[in-house]
Amino acid sequence: MASELQLEVARQSVISGTAAVVAGMVYGTQISDTGFGESYLMVAAHVQFMVNGILQILGGLILSQHQLCTMGSTALRIFQAGNVWAPVPVLGVEAWGAKVGVSWPRLIKQAGLPAPDPKLYTFYSILHFGPGGLLLLSWAFLLWACIRGPARSTSAKPKSG
């Protein structure tokens, strides 16, 4: 049976993911040549909001199914940090990058923009790689929990004899 903490982390994942999807939908309505940001980069940020939100929702739904997996409290806290909280700075820096013209070099080149200031690019990168690594770790923990399967009660063993 899933713990209360597991169900709460699953719920938080679904809520934060749904909020990211809604924010991505609203942000998507601003993609135009109105001066709000670089439209090519805004499309990339919009996609990032949508995909990250769906990933958070999926993680929460998997975690809520105690028949699939159970996680201990430490693994749950790591999952919570990676799946609930780590996407926040990534999504924030995506929106900021679209406004100031900072993104990954390939996107900058495709958008026909000048190379960004190296300090801004470093800031942008750090706010992707740190949280992204935590997100990857949290999903590795979820995968391991699913491979292991649900916790089994030892009190229901039949007596021999």
Give the per-residue SS3 of 104-115. CHHHHHHHCCCC
d(CA 61, CA 76): 14
> Does this model's pTM top 0.85?
yes
Answer whether residue 73 is part of any domain. yes
pLDDT of residue 90: 94
Answer whether residue 96 is part of any domain. yes
Answer whether residue 49 is part of any domain. yes
Answer whether residue 153 is part of any domain. no
Answer whether residue 32 is part of any domain. yes
Which range marks the domain in which residue 41 is found? 4-148
Q: What is the CATH number of the domain that holds 44?
A: 1.20.120
Answer whether residue 97 is part of any domain. yes
pLDDT of residue 149: 87
Residues 6+ apart with CB under 8 A from 20: 49, 50, 52, 53, 56, 87, 91
Answer whether residue 56 is part of any domain. yes
- pLDDT digit of tens for each residue in the chain (161 aa)? 569 999 999 999 999 999 999 999 999 888 876 666 788 899 999 999 999 999 999 999 999 998 999 999 999 999 999 999 999 999 999 999 999 999 999 989 988 889 999 999 999 999 999 999 999 999 999 999 999 988 765 444 555 55
What's the domain count of the chain?
A: 1
